[in-house]
Homo-oligomer: A and B are copies of this chain.
Amino acid sequence: MAEKIDEVFKVIDEQRDGYLHELLELLRLPSVSANPTCRKYIENAAERLCKALKARGAGCEVLETEGHPVVCGSFQAKDKGPTLLIYGHYDVQPPDPLEEWQSDPFDPVIKDGYVYARGASDDKGQLFCYVAALDAINRAGLQVPVNLRFLFEGEEEIGSPNLRKFLLHRHELLESDAVVISDGSQAAPGVPAITYGLRGLAYLQIDVEGPKRDLHSGVYGGIVVNPLQALVDILSHLKDENDRVMIEGFYDDVLVPDETERAMIRSLPFDEEQLKEYLGISVFGGEKEFHPLERRLLRPTLDVNGIWGGYSGPGAKTVIPSRAGAKISMRLVPNQRYKKITDLTGQYIRKVTPPGVRVKVTPMEGTDPVLVNTKSREVQIAARALEIAFGRPPVFMREGGSIPVVSLFSELMGSKPILLLGFGRPDDGIHGPNERFNLDDFFKGIKTAVALFFLMAER
Contacts and interface: CB of A to CB of B under 8 A. Distances in A.
Interface stretch (A135-143, A321-329, A378-386, A443-451): A321-329
A313 B431 contact: no
Interface in A260-303: 279-287, 292, 295-296, 299-303
A356 B285 contact: yes
Contacts of A434: 213
Interface stretch (A39-47, A76-84, A94-102): A94-102
A201 B218 CA distance: 9
A299 B222 CA distance: 8
Given A100-B322, A218-B400, 19 more contacts: A96-B311, A201-B318, A214-B432, A216-B430, A217-B331, A222-B296, A225-B285, A226-B304, A232-B236, A282-B355, A283-B355, A305-B316, A308-B308, A308-B312, A312-B327, A316-B364, A317-B327, A318-B402, A319-B431
Give chain A's interface secondary structure class.
loop
A96 B213 CA distance: 12
A235 interface: yes
A399 B364 CA distance: 44
Given A96-B311, A213-B429, A400-B218, A303 B281 contact: no
Interface string A379-416: 00000000000000000000111100000000000000
A51 to B, nearest CB: 28
A365 B316 contact: yes
Contacts of A285: 222-226, 354, 356
A228 interface: yes
A238 B97 CA distance: 29
A385 B191 CA distance: 85
Contacts of A201: 218, 318
A309 interface: yes
B235 A232 contact: yes
Contacts of A286: 222-224
Contacts of A314: 34-36
A310 B306 contact: yes
Total copies of this chain within the assembly: 2
B94 A317 contact: yes
B96 A313 contact: yes
B232 A303 contact: no
A113 to B, nearest CB: 19
Interface in A228-259: 228-229, 231-233, 235-237, 239, 241, 243
Contacts of A315: 33-34, 158, 364
Contact of A218 (B199, B281, B282): B199
Nearest to A430: B216
Interface of A: 33-36, 93-94, 96-97, 100, 157-159, 185, 199, 201, 203, 210-226, 228-229, 231-233, 235-237, 239, 241, 243, 279-287, 292, 295-296, 299-322, 324-325, 327, 329, 331, 354-356, 364-365, 399-402, 426, 429-434
Contacts of A35: 313-314
Contacts of A36: 314
A281 B303 CA distance: 30
B217 A303 contact: yes
Nearest to A219: B400
Contacts of A295: 222-223
A240 to B, nearest CB: 10
A212 to B, nearest CB: 3
Nearest to A291: B223
Contact of A93 (B100, B224, B317): B317
A304 B215 contact: no
Contacts of A312: 306-308, 325, 327
A431 B50 CA distance: 54
Nearest to A159: B316
B313 A401 contact: no
23 contacts: A96-B311, A157-B317, A185-B219, A211-B281, A215-B432, A216-B431, A220-B279, A221-B329, A222-B287, A222-B295, A223-B296, A224-B284, A228-B303, A228-B305, A228-B307, A229-B303, A281-B356, A283-B355, A285-B354, A306-B311, A307-B308, A312-B325, A317-B327
